[in-house]
Amino acid sequence: MARRREAVVALPPEEEKVALPGENLARLSSGEQVRLYVRRLIFDGVLRPGARIPQGAIAETLGVSRIPVREALIALEREGWTTIIPHRGAFVNALDEPSVRDHYELYGMFYGFGVRRAVERRGPSLGEALKPIQDRIMAAGDPGTLHRLTMDFHRTVIDAANSPRLRTMLRQMTDIVPGNFFELVPGSDVVEREGTAAILNAIERNYPEIAEREYATMLRRQGDLVVTLLQDRGIFDPTEAPHDEDDD
């Protein structure tokens, strides 16, 4: 009996190629280009949960060979984005709301631990380092600038925590939202400004436990916004399971 083949998802035409705000693909390795590109296709709903990932089309679109495509899919499988089925191909995993919420709860736990350690180890000097960054965060007028400044804020906290184990744990976590978070998630700029201001206030008052709680609250609120966005995009919707087929 002939095996039924699943329709290959069409990628955007060349002139409508999906962009990655805040990411310069030319500066990345081929495998990293593919990984970010596939994640953005999933995020934008071009590749739906259960869809077979068209490896050949992606390689052609990005001008790379099949090798970095396969490397990227292996990395995406480790991150939970895809499932590779031998002799059938790679398929998009369905995201679910609890997993997304857990992701941001974990971020809150890690950064909360970091800020508590940072306050305990640096004291008032941490607030002095963060204050000018926070002032610029409040004044930032575009998503790109806000993204860079918030990364400076979080990096300063983690550096002050001086915890190699924490750094290792954070490196293993992958953002759900590809590209510039503040450009893609409506309302996230307000949450970040309010959250970093509350964190800094607790640090300046030398309340490490409150700073830890404010970090968790900020990241939980960001998670709520991401859940709403993914619901609106239909990314949580279940789809038909993949059919048996040969890999392309």
Q: Tell me the average pLDDT across 129-150.
A: 96
- pLDDT at res. 12: 59
Instruction: Select, from the ranges 45-49, 71-75, 191-195, the one with the highest average predicted confidence (pLDDT).
Output: 191-195
Domains of the chain: 14-93 (1.10.10.10), 97-232 (1.20.120.530)
> Letter for the amino acid at 80?
G
- pLDDT at res. 209: 96
Q: Tell me the average pLDDT across 184-193.
A: 96
Which has the closest alpha carbon to 182: 196, 194, 170, 192? 192
| Predicted confidence (pLDDT) per residue in 54-113, tens digit | 999 999 998 999 999 999 999 999 888 899 999 899 999 888 899 899 999 999 999 999
Q: Tell me the average pLDDT across 164-184.
A: 88
| Of 23 and 223, more confident | 223
Question: What gap in Å lies between CA 186 and CA 233, rounded to an integer?
Answer: 13
Question: What gap in Å lies between CA 178 and CA 36, rounded to an integer?
Answer: 7
Question: What gap in Å lies between CA 71 and CA 28, rounded to an integer?
Answer: 14
pTM of the predicted structure, to 2 decimals: 0.78
Query: Strand pairing partners for 91?
Result: 52, 83
pLDDT confidence tier of residue 241, bands split at 50, 70 and 90 = very low
Q: Is residue 240 over pLDDT 60?
A: no
Rg (CA), the chain: 20
Structure tokens at 24: 């310069």
DSSP secondary structure string for all residues of the chain: -PPPPPPPPPPPPGGGPPP-TT--GGGS-HHHHHHHHHHHHHHTTSS-TTPBP-HHHHHHHHT--HHHHHHHHHHHHHHTSEEEETTTEEEEPPP-HHHHHHHHHHHHHHHHHHHHHHHHHHTHHHHHHHHHHHHHHHH--SHHHHHHHHHHHHHHHHHHHT-HHHHHHHHT---SS-S-HHHHSTTHHHHHHHHHHHHHHHHHTT-HHHHHHHHHHHHHHHHHHHHHHHHHHTTT---PPPPP----
Question: What gap in Å lies between CA 56 and CA 248, rounded to an integer?
Answer: 7
